[in-house]
Amino acid sequence: MTTMLEVAKRAGVSKATVSRVLSGNGYVSQETKDRVFQAI
């Protein structure tokens, strides 16, 4: 199982950004969303 921290490190973003992407809350650019989903 992959943790949010591992995804954040792979995507080059913060753990909070990963949380925002997964929950759909707050603004995150499409480029960042793509990086997070590729890291998962």
| Interval 12-35: pLDDT, tens | 999 999 999 999 999 999 999 999
Whose CA is closest to 37, among 1, 15, 8, 16? 8
- The DSSP code for 12 is T
d(CA 3, CA 26): 21
pLDDT higher than threshold 90 for residue 1? no
pLDDT higher than threshold 90 for residue 9? yes
> ∠ CA 30-33-35 to the nearest 5 degrees?
110
Q: Are 27 and 16 in contact (CB under 8 A)?
A: no
Q: What is the pLDDT of residue 36?
A: 98
Note the pTM of the prediction, 2 decimals. Answer: 0.90
